[in-house]
Structure formats: C-alpha cells, structure tokens
Amino acid sequence: MAEVVLSWPTKDKATAIGKRVKRLDGPEKSNGTAKYTYDINLKNQLIAVALGCPHAHCKIKSLDVAPALKVPGVVHAEPLRKSGDEIEWQGEMLAVIAAETEAAAREGVAAIAVEYELLPVFVEEDNLAAAEKAGRTSKGGGKVQTEKEPGDNDDEDEFADKEIARLLKEAAYTVEGHYGIDPITHCCLEPHGSTVEWKDGKLMVHLSTQNVSGTDDGFAKDLNITADDVTVHCDYIGGGFGSKFAPDYWGIAAARISKATGRPVKFMLQRDQELKLGGSRPSGYLHVKLGANKDGVVTVWDSQHHGSAGATNPGGISHTVIPYVFTPKNYRRLATNIKTNHAQARAWRAPNHPQACAMTQTALDDLAMKMGADSLDIFLKNLGTDDAPGVSGAKPSVYKAEMEIGAELIGWKKLWHPHGKGAAKGSVVEGLGLAIHTWGGGANQSSCTVRVHPDGGVETFCGTQDLGVGTRTVLALVLAECFGLPYEAIKLTIGNSKLPISGPSGGSTTVGGICESHRRAGLDAFAQIAALVGKKLAVDPATLEAVGGRVQVIGNPAKSVSWKEACTLIGMKPLEVKGNYDRGTKSPLSNSQVGGVQFAHVAVDKETGVIKLKKFVAVQDMGLVVAPQQAESQIYGSVIMGIAYSLFEQRLTDPKTGAILNAELKDYKLARIGDIGEIVVNLYEPESERSRGVIGLGEPPVIAPGAAISNAVCNALGVRVPTLPMTPQRVLAALKAKA
Amino acid sequence: MKNFSFAAPRTEAEVLSVLSATPGETEILAGGTDLVGLLSQMILAPQRVVNILDVPSLKDIELLDGGVVSIGSAVTLDVLLAHPYLNPYPAIQQAIDGIASLQLQCQGTLGGEMLQRPQCWFFRDGRGLLAGGGKLAAEGDNRFHAILGNQGAAKFVSASRIAPALIALGATARVIGPGDEDEKIIPVADLFRTPRHEGERENTLLPNQLLTHILLPGYKPEAQARGILSSATYDVRHGAGPDFPLASAAAALRIDGGVVREARVVLGQVAPTPWVSTEAADMLVGWSVNETLAEAAGAAAVAQATPLSNNEYKVQLAKVAVKRAILRAAGLETGGL
Amino acid sequence: MPTSTTSLDPRSGFSRRDFLRGSGAVATAAALQAQSAAAAEQTQGVAILAGEQTIELSVNGKTVAVKAEPRTTLLDVLRYQLDLTGAKPICNDGSSGGATILVDGKPMQANLMLALQAVGKKIETVESLAGDAVPKAFVACDAQQCGFCTPGFVVATRAFLNMKPNATEEEIRQGLNGNLCRCGTYANIVHAALMVVKGGNNG
C-alpha cells in the first residue's frame, strides 16, 4: 500500500472543507431536544443543592445538617466542611442536601444550622497599597531587558534603573498612565454540575465538561475506584469558556451521595454558586511609563501591574505578555499578585491575553493621542518588518495586511479624527479604535476510530466534545472530504470517555487536534479502499480520488465506481482505521500562532457616559478554514463577549463584607442583542496562511475587543477611561477628572 | 423554596377573605415575575400565596365617565402598552417600553410592577430591606442606591418603572380591604413610603389590602381646548434589555400657547420612593420649554441630592433624565444616545 | 397638577358598583376548583390548595396529568415530569429568558410561573415548534453555539414575530432583549429573524 501523504486539498479542489454548511447538531439545539447534562433525568433521581457560605472569610464554629433531614422530601444530608475549617470566600459549599425535588433540597439547605466566626476580609484587588498594608501581596515575577548590556561591575537592578531612566529621558514622547480591567466570571448559562449514577461498583457520570476523555481518572482517584469503572458522558455542554475541565469537588460529592443513597443524583450549581465558584478571570491593573522616538515607535516600556486570581491561586496576569504583542527593545515588566477572599480563578478564554491587551495597547493608543497622530499609523509603525519584527506571534506582514483590510471595512480614512476632535452631535461624540492580538492554538492530542461499512456508511468514534464550536460539523467535513461524500452522511459518536481519547477543549486546540486525527484516519482508510478499487479497475491506486460519491481516476469519471460499490469490496466486516495525533508533532495538517486585528466604532453620550457600539470589524487569521460559517459564529461570539467585558461585565464584590453583589443574572450585566451594533467578520485566509494548516480559533478573537473599544472611546472623548468595563460611572469620572 | 398553600379566589371579595392581617403570612401573586424568584430564593416565605390572576375585574381596562381610564392591577404590561386608551399617556407607554423584555411585559402586571420589591442587592441577598439599619449600603457598595431621601436607614431605590409616570400624570389608586366594605381611592404617590424599620415595607398597603385599579385622569374636550397635556418618561440605561435604569424621570406638562401652565416631574431609581420634584416643576411653569430651561429644571431636581460613598454619578444621570424627560414631553429632541 | 385641566375628581365617573362584578368562572380558579374539590380546603368558598395536587395541564396540544405542590414551578413540571427539557433553568429572576414558553400564545418564563397557575392555560414549549420556520432559520443562520439559550430565543423570536410579522432589523434588535446568550450568538439571531420575516412564512 502506498504511503499516505498528509495534506489538505487546495482551495479549488476541496469539496467539503471550507464550504458553508449548516451546523450538524443545529436542529437538536434549536428545537430543544439536545440533552445537556442539566436535562438528563434518571429514574428515581435525587436533586442535590449545596449550602454556600454567606461570608467571605470565616471559621466554621459549628455545622449541623441534622435539621435538614426533618424537612419533608430530604433524603440525604452531608457536611462538606467541618467545624474549625477556615473558609476563604463567599459561596464555598459547606454542606449538601439531596432531596426528591429541588424545592425540598433548597428548603433543606435553609434548615442547616451553622455558626460562624467572622475573620477579616480583603477583596480590594485594584488597591495595591491596601493589599500591601494587609500583607496580601506576593511577587508575580518580571523581566528586564535592555539593548545595552550591564558591565561586569554593574549591579543589574541599578543598571536597569539608570538605563530605563535614560531612555525615558531621551525619548521624543513619553506616556505615563494607569490601565485596568476588572475580574469577570465565566457565567456559563448551564452551570457546572453532573447527573451521576453509582451502580454495582461502577460510576456513570453525565458531566457538563470540556474534558470528556480526561475526567474519569479524577473521579476514580477521589472515590477509590479505577478509571475503567467510570464513564463520563457529555453530548452537549452549555458553556465552559475554560472553567469546566475537572470533576470538581461537587462532582465527587454527587457520586458519593449516589453511592450512599443507591439513587442517581443530579447536582447542578445554583446560579449564584456558578458565578461565585464556577470560575472567574483574574483582574489586572497596570501602571506604565513608556517612551517613543519621534516616529512614535516605542523604545522603552516600564510597567508594574497587580491583580488577583483569588485566595488560593497565586497566579495573576503573567508578566510575559506585557506589553501585549508589541516587543519594544527595552522593557521592564513586574507583576505583583494579590490574595483576595475570592474563589480561585480559572482559565478564561485566552488566559492572560485579553487583560494584557486591554492594559497595554491602550497605552500605545495614548501615545498616538499625545502625538496628535493617527492611531493606525502608530500601530503600523510599531509592527516592524518581517525581518526585524516589533511584534510576537504572527508576522508583521500578516498584521499589516489585516490592518489594511480592517481599516477599509471600518471606514478608518473617512471617519477617523484626532482624539477628542470629532464633531459632536449634541452630547454625542464618536470615535474609532483598534487593537491586535495573537494566540498559539496548536493542535491537541486526539485519537479516533473511523469505520467504513461495506454498505458505504461512515462512522467515527472520538472522545472529544462539542462546546459550541461546531466540533461535529468540522469532523464530518473532514471525513466527507476524505471520502467524497456529503457531510451529512458521516455518523458521529463523541462525548464519552470510553471512546478513543481526545484532548480537553482548552487553548483553541480542539479543531486542530480532531482535524489531525480524522484526516489521518480518513486518508488511511481511503488508501485502503483505493487499493481495492485499483485492483478492480486495474489502475494505480495512487491515481484514484474520492469525489461526488464516486471513487475515480483523478479527473476521469468514466473510470470510476460508486462509493457504495467501492465499499462492497471491503468484504463482510467494516474497515476500521484508527487516527492518532500526539500533541506537538510537527505536521503539514495543523499549525500554531495566528494574528488578528480588530476595529471598533463607538458613540459616547458625554452627558450620561453611555457608550454604544456602532460597528465592529474583526479580521482573523486561523490558517486553513474548515467550517467558515461556524468560524464566523465563533468570531461573532468572541466579539460579543468582548463587548460585554468592555462595557458591562464585572464581578462586583462588596468591599466591606466581601459578598459577591451581582451573582444573579439581573445584576451581572452581559451584552444583549440590542447592544452589539453591526459586526463584520473577515476570515483572513490567503494561500500563505491557508497552506499552514488548521489553527484553533476559540481564543484569538476574544482578546482585542477591550483595547479596541477603549481606544475608540478615547478617540471619541479625547480622554482615557482607564479601567474596563467602561460603565457610565467610569466614563463620567474620566470626563470629570479631565475637566 | 418553602412550601405554602395556594389560594385561588375569583372575586375581589374572595381575595380579601384569604389575605392575612399578619405581615409576611400571605403574599399576593400575579404575573410572578418578581414574587416567584423571591419565593425560590426564600427572601419571602409566606404560608399562603394568593393568586389574583383569575379575578376578572382586575383584568379590565375601561373608560369611565369623564374620560377616566380605569386599569385593573392584574392587567399585563403588554396589553396595557398596546391599548388605545393609553395613547394620551405616552409617559406610561415609554416606561413599559423601557422594560424591554417581551416576556416580562407579557407576564408582568401593572400592580405587580408597581409593588415589586426593591432590587437592592443586600435585600436580595437576604440581609433585610434596610440591610443592617442602612449600614451595609452606607458602608458597602452603593453604586445603584439612593441619592435622594436617603438620610434614614432606607438606602434602596424604589423599583417601579411605571410609578413615576403614573404620579406625574396624577393617577390615583383604588385600594380595598381589610374589611369587605373598605375601599379608598388615593393618589398613587401615597402607595409608597420610606420604611423606618425592618417591620415596614416600602408600600403603604396593609397585608390584607389589595390594589385593584389605577385610575388615569380623563381628558375632557373642554380641557383639551385649554391646552395639551403631554407627558414622557426618560430612562438612563446602561445597556439594552430589562435591566433597571440607572436613573429615570417622568414629566407631565400642560402647555398652553407655548407656555407651561402646569408641570409635574417625578424621578425613579433615585430614592426609596418615586421622587416628586416640585423644584423642577416650579421652574417650568410660566416659561416655554427649551434646552436651557430643561437643564435648569434637571439641576433643580437634584440640588438637594445627598449621594452616598459611591453613587455621586447618579446625580448627573438623574439631572439628565429630568432634562430629557421634559424635552421629550414638550415634543423636543432629547439628544443623547 | 393637571387636575384643573382634566377636572379629575378621583371618584368622578366611577362607582363602587363598577368593581363588584365578576364571580364568573375563569380558567385557573374554576379548573382548580373542579380538579381538586376533594383536596381543597375552602375558606368562604375559595379553594385553598396545600400539599401535592394532581392537576391537568394542556401542554403542546395534549392534556397531561401531573403532580404539583403549590411551590412547584411550571418549569419543574415540564422538565422533571414531562421530560420537556427545552426550556432551561438559567436565571432566578426573569432576566435570561432561558425558560421562555408560550402561555395562551404569549411568551412567558416558566420558572416564574407556578404550575397551579398554568391550569386551564394552553402551554406550548419549544418542542412544539420543531417544524416551524424559526428554528429552521436558526439552523440556516447558525444562530447557536453552545445552544443552551437557543430554545428560549427560538420561542421568544416566534412570539415576537407573531406580534410583528414584518419586523425590521432595528425592531428585531429591540424586540429580543429579554433573552441572554453567553456565547454571543446575537448577530446570527438577528440574521435568522430577518430570514423568517423575508421568507414570508411567518405567523
């Protein structure tokens, strides 16, 4: 059999990949029959609800669940914490009640008797001085780099101090400013949770998870069984965004209760628990002095930032992405972590990047404002060239080409004006801004089993999951391409831990991974079928192609057999082929490192501080585009999430009590359909990028909206609203500070 | 949620017969858009819930003598918004329109909207309506709390989005109970109060009284001839959707020969009750409305504001809301977004 | 104020008699009365229901018997007893629209309605719209990602377009603000609603 050559068809030859198609699971999602974890009802199941700690920092003096057992309908009560335990954030689960109905379980929770000893609360993650005073800070690392090296006798810190001071002094322009971005939560609409059944020593877990293949051992370890006794299942997940990788202690508790009661248990977080415990994104607040030459190219960057990732996670925003994308020749960047009374942060789409972008590309835009220059020019000048790049991630030429496309789409030439100098219509002013981003997105580990049946049917089995990306649709397109079939003909089985292992969906790695495994399996299977057909037609199998439901000599339908006929040659048993890709393996099918550019056009009401998006343009490279319609959807979604964290969204903590004040959805403000304006998506796919192969898209487009929108607001007002979200309160405060 | 019993009365008299005199023992249920959430969160835990959606008289909209429009308290907001009898009262239509959720408009009722409980996050977190005698709000995050009438323990803001318009328009409310024969008609403003202790609610109804109807003053032809009554509501909203405005104002004006003869201005979302600003209204009478005058009225409305530690911005927003409500009522451009 | 203009005497044109109408049978109360006569405690002729009741509901064109305590929400009945899980429990406060269903043709949120209030009403869930133009347009326009909010949006869109069959894009952007999506599918929902309007197979 001929060696399989790993490749994708060229754009003109492709019959499935790159085509606009309907999402395969669209009908189930739209007519309500798609079953999410929350929707799985097992016979005789109990509903579990947990008591969340009302205090942000306290010691449990006593905890008695017995009164809950007296509530009608309550079947099981178990403490999760014990007296003497210190609780470090509000909402932490202290005990769990399982009952016949959710209402009874809630009533049971209310009956639990707990006494608390209150301890000092610290939640001011934006206040470095207060954090230092409270002893809540730790070093978050940093780096200094200067073009000039210190001499042998120089103290390095002292040298850096002097060198940076010199560079700032010699700079043609300097900018000094504060920039920040508040914490937000993942706010999955389907909260974290599971429906579990422990039966005959085996555990079946329906889990809302981004990690179908990787959570069984987590359950096994904590429950003293082996991973082969655990099955994790997830057909549909109602949002994850980086927060649903593990069983979590509430998943383990559900399993324990099922074992204890002999009944299935559904344990989904309550809405407020989802916002308090289910995941949050670290905050960041940065102070910077930067210097630039007369052309507006940044020559020196000196920043410190701080922020919090909760009580137990020391990691705030990494200094390694400061300043963001742009790589000035001289820089010093220092990070300080603050420990606050919040639950531990979790990975949120593109960890570190959105915050870094919002805290630093705003400073670059302020340089443009200070120079009275066009922001687009300043961004372009700082890109450098492909030979001497001033940016990381993608090549300067990619960003540049994307900037040109985006500028055209947003109408930059026509609409741009110097910061604060646009024509006002009454109290309303408009402005434009841009920002750029990058992300890795290399393929994750993935394996699959593809079966081609003698009747022509094609099936794949893969332990991946569909977070809403369109995983199913992508898989079907890839196999359809391999076999020359319509994509609807491919049968898919995913979302179960007993299937061939596929990596967790995190870091934009899923589509790359599953394309690798499936293209490999598909090409392999076709090669085997081609060998059989070649024999029958007496032609070299290497000259055969699958197209339009036939296997034919390339470009010659006269010499062909139908796909069905070809498959009869397989024999009695289906042809089964495994596809596998190990993370990090160099491959022509997938790649990493993309660049994207985004533009925002906003209107701001100076009297109320209300901001409205008029238009947003996202130009995005992702290598080869497999499913353009779903890719566009993901970019729309990223932009909309970006609008939310730019204008509306923030986790609000009461400074006095440490209570999360907006853990219900009426208070936790997300963007709505009336808030988004016109969004234009441009898939940047020239042959130079397409030929690199598939690269993940989940993270990149969610990174730049914060800076792009902030820059547009600054362009409109002529004053920076330094911290996201830019609420009316903050806009008015910024205007007042200027006046 | 705690269990309770469910009463299904069919007449107003039957409603009264199943309401308890003891505060908190019974709650009146209509659309449920506020109450069911409060029950499931156990912020309220009544022994009995009284469903008034099947009392026909509470669902009527009628034109009475003198052009008075009578609206049953269980009329849903979508019905009200679409009803031609409401056309002379744009302030009410705009307030309902501002709720911006088709579901909440179709499910929510007029009485329920007016008597919904405050949105104060300390109250909704189970820490009491006054939240530690006002301490939690005074010392904590109070960005959405009151800037007027906040000197006592109550720091929350009145939630109703329609009440300011009703008060501006001079609407009255029919309240029955506790006795079978007890009935009174009071100005809508008198339904609201600033509670002084946890035992008091933010409305003046006894636990066994029922708000049955809202009466809008009628338009008599001879009155029309003497001048045009015009009204408007302006909400300052952070974004789209049903989220509560950051500040709101309703204005009703009688303009005759281009000059304001009478005016009433009522602010919402700024005080523990709908906030009637006679200062703003007085400023308008005798003048013709323009931007400068409206701006001055806005400033007058907030001149006595006493913002808390983190809500001074609401003073500016309330001022703008008043200005724009007046401009809109006068048929002028409001400006803004 | 406008008292002088409108001569509003609060009692003019208005008599107590006007308010003493209506003891006629109405849906919920009457049906409950009939259905639970045995279980009902009566206070001066008013049915007062306590504890678990067996009630009949009209759901998607069928009459079904379900069990409900007074505190049981319609959403819990749909999801746990009828396995109609299209309506989702997303919020406690009506801000998400996740549990949107049609009640006598109007969009309402099932998590905010007690099951006993639904007796005598025509309940339609997203599952009944499977052949409708709205879910088809959602699929055609890829107006879904994770899909958890989608059923609520589909029902809300259907209800909105029933009211405004020729809605403009601007009206669509104003009319569907009662629903929340976290993945950010709004742009394509606008496209889907416009497709239904243009398709003419609306309402």
Nearest Cβ partner for C144 among A23, A241, A671: A23
- For A159, counting Cβ atoms within 10 Å of its Cβ (0-12 exposed, 13-18 middle, 19+ buried), the class is middle
pLDDT band at B58 (very low <50, low <70, confident <90, very high): very high
Beta bridge partners of A115: A62
Residue of B nearest to C115 (CA): B6
The pLDDT score that the predictor gives to residue C19 is 36
Helices (H) and strands (E) in chain A, counts: 19, 29
- C-alpha closest to that of A360 among A284, A418, A473: A284
Residue with tokens 């400006």: B335
Binary contact (B239, A652; C-beta < 8 A):
no
* CA-CA-CA-CA dihedral for A460, A465, A468, A474, to nearest 10: -30
Binary contact (C1, B5; C-beta < 8 A):
no
Beta bridge partners of C41: C48
Residue of C nearest to B18 (CA): C43
Show the tokens assigned to A436.
């750029």
Helices (H) and strands (E) in chain B, counts: 13, 12
Residue of B nearest to A726 (CA): B238
CA B58-B59-B60 angle, 5° bins: 100
The pLDDT score that the predictor gives to residue C9 is 32
Beta bridge partners of B174: B185, B213
- Chain C contact present for B70, CB below 8 A: yes
pLDDT in tens, B137-193: 999 999 999 999 999 999 999 999 999 999 999 999 999 999 999 999 999 999 999
Name the strand (E) or helix (H) holding B50: strand B48-51
Q: List chain C residues with CB under 8 Å of B243.
A: 95
Distant-in-sequence, close-in-space partners of A651: CB < 8 Å, separation ≥ 6: A182, A183, A184, A185, A275, A280, A342, A660, A662, A668
> Residue B310 and residue A298: Cα distance in Å, rounded?
37
- Best residue of B123, B141, B302, B333 to probe chain A, by most A CBs closer than 10 Å: B141
> Residue C126 and residue A500: Cα distance in Å, rounded?
34
- Chain A (86-145) residues lying within 8 Å, Cβ to Cβ, of chain C: 101-103
The answer to whether A191 and C89 are in contact (CB under 8 A) is no
- Chain B contact present for C147, CB below 8 A: no
Q: Neighbours of C (≥3 Cβ pairs closer than 8 A)? A: A, B
Sign of CA dihedral A618, A624, A629, A631: negative
Binary contact (C92, A664; C-beta < 8 A):
yes
Binary contact (C86, A636; C-beta < 8 A):
no
Residue with tokens 């570190």: A352
Name the interface residues of B facing A (CB cutoff 8 Å). 1-3, 40, 42, 100, 119, 121, 124-126, 136, 139-141, 143, 236-244, 246, 313, 316-317, 320, 333, 335-337
Q: Could you give phi then psi for residue B134, rounded to 5 degrees?
A: 90, -10
> Residue B1 and residue C115: Cα distance in Å, rounded?
14
Per-residue tens of pLDDT for chain C, all 203 residues: 333 333 223 333 333 333 333 333 345 666 665 555 444 455 668 999 999 999 999 999 999 999 999 999 999 999 999 999 999 999 999 999 999 999 999 999 999 999 999 999 999 999 999 999 999 999 999 999 999 999 999 999 999 999 999 999 999 999 999 999 999 999 999 999 999 999 865 54
The answer to whether B193 and B149 are in contact (CB under 8 A) is no
> Residue B315 and residue B305: Cα distance in Å, rounded?
7
* CA-CA-CA-CA dihedral for A106, A110, A113, A119, to nearest 10: 100
Residue of A nearest to C85 (CA): A39
Alpha carbon of A45: minimum distance to chain C alpha carbons (Å): 10
Q: Does a cis peptide bond (omega within 30 degrees of 0) precede residue B178?
A: yes
Q: List chain B residues with CB under 8 Å of C97.
A: 101, 103
Binary contact (C21, B8; C-beta < 8 A):
no
DSSP state of A443: P
What are the strands, taking DSSP E only, across A146-283? Answer: 173-181, 184-185, 193-199, 202-207, 230-233, 265-268, 280-281
The answer to whether A185 and A668 are in contact (CB under 8 A) is yes
- Best residue of C100, C158, C186 to probe chain A, by most A CBs closer than 10 Å: C186
> Residue A253 and residue A248: Cα distance in Å, rounded?
9
Please identify every stretch of chain A with a pLDDT value under 70, giving residue numbers as ranges: 1-2
- C-alpha closest to that of B252 among B219, B292, B213: B219
- Chain A (404-443) residues lying within 8 Å, Cβ to Cβ, of chain B: 426-428
Neighbours of A455 (CB within 10 A): 10
The answer to whether A592 and A442 are in contact (CB under 8 A) is yes
Q: List chain C residues with CB under 8 Å of A188.
A: 182
pLDDT band at B97 (very low <50, low <70, confident <90, very high): very high
| Total-model pTM | 0.96
> Residue A94 and residue A80: Cα distance in Å, rounded?
5
> Residue A392 and residue A390: Cα distance in Å, rounded?
7
- The CA–CA distances, whole Å, from C134 to A170, A236, C130, C138 equal 63, 21, 9, 6
- Chain C contact present for B165, CB below 8 A: no
Nearest Cβ partner for B102 among C25, C30, C160: C160
The answer to whether A693 and A587 are in contact (CB under 8 A) is yes
Binary contact (B336, A426; C-beta < 8 A):
yes
- The CA–CA distances, whole Å, from B316 to A353, B247, B299, B305, C169 equal 35, 9, 9, 10, 33
pLDDT in tens, A179-192: 999 999 999 999 99
Name the strand (E) or helix (H) holding A401: helix A396-410
Where on the phi/psi map is residue B170: left (φ > 0), alpha (ψ -120 to 50), or beta? left
pLDDT in tens, B102-119: 999 999 999 999 999 999
The answer to whether A575 and A510 are in contact (CB under 8 A) is no
- C-alpha closest to that of B169 among B225, B93, B259: B93
Q: Where are the alpha helices (DSSP H) in A329-386?
A: 353-371, 375-383
Residue of B nearest to A733 (CA): B313
> Residue A129 and residue A127: Cα distance in Å, rounded?
6
Sign of CA dihedral A694, A697, A699, A700: positive
> Residue A649 and residue A668: Cα distance in Å, rounded?
7
CA B39-B41-B46 angle, 5° bins: 30
Q: ipTM of this predicted complex?
A: 0.97
- The CA–CA distances, whole Å, from A176 to A334, A356, A375, A652, A724 equal 16, 16, 17, 28, 18
The pLDDT score that the predictor gives to residue B229 is 83
- For C163, counting Cβ atoms within 10 Å of its Cβ (0-12 exposed, 13-18 middle, 19+ buried), the class is middle
Q: List chain A residues with CB under 8 Å of B42.
A: 106-107, 110
Q: Neighbours of A (≥3 Cβ pairs closer than 8 A)? A: B, C
Question: In this predicted model, which residue has the larger pLDDT, A152 or B281?
Answer: B281
Neighbours of A70 (CB within 10 A): 10
Average pLDDT taken over every residue of chain C: 85
Alpha carbon of C108: minimum distance to chain B alpha carbons (Å): 5
Q: Residues, chain C, total?
A: 203
Q: List chain A residues with CB under 8 Å of C146.
A: 189-190, 236-240, 467-468
